[in-house]
Structure 1
């Protein structure tokens, strides 16, 4: 069984607070409400697309986090994250909006971020995945659009995930989309 599937079987979660942050080069602003079309595994995926097995009619799930790695494996979907090499992600998210208690825009001298604070259900998921998936990647999507990529650097115990964004306006657009606004 491949590394990512083992991790997913143990716990469905993801994290960034202790991650190395990189934002994809082609992030729309404001957040695009239309999910992208993703090519098959052998074909090149649409730029900044989040992996999907099939369209999922879940309008309440706006924010998802997928676990990804650099090594290609048959069960993983290729994702163009705007870097030199593609990433390969699990088709199902490891964290979804119902695992998140609060989302807030954050602006610091180091850049703009969205702070995802997990709820009681999400905290142990986030901790487990970050503990076991060091060196792998988390892909944050909003309404099917990839908005951030981060490499997991260390375990996150407090349930607080800081995700980089393009700007404070982009952070606010993500928060509005999560809350169902435009």
Structure 2
């Protein structure tokens, strides 16, 4: 999301994620219909749909992304969102290069889009590797596995992870920009 912010949800209205300005994230969405709501004001975003098979075949180096795709393939969840990351200067430069090529040479955009999307995937894969040990990611996995449990509560989750409710709340909000 380059300017503004939006949220996206399943066609039935179930919220998947909010995406604030200067962030990017990767999500896995099963086939179906999804809605994107952009808030009032200037909104500039880029959505790139990539076949999971392409990611699995394109490089052996995306170990963290491939691990998540395998987990999603075995999941019953219709949609999954990975951690949000700040758009740093490097990624903004790559996006500007894609835009510059589209203005000057429309024929070159396909190759350059693939090239810069690959760069972004490498960057994201590295970030995922650094964040593997983050408690918020573990909590999200736990919630995905236990969402039907009617006894699920903040105290129960905090007990399970041997931490306080406040610590869970803060880590989850920092990682996903939403609360538990």
Which structure would you say has the larger Rg? Answer: 2
Task: Indicate the structure with greater strand content.
Answer: 1
**Greater relative contact order (Cα 8 A, min sep 6): structure 1 or 2?**
1
Task: Indicate the structure with greater helix content.
Answer: 2
Q: TM-score, normalized by length of structure 1? A: 0.27
Q: TM-score, normalized by length of structure 2? A: 0.28
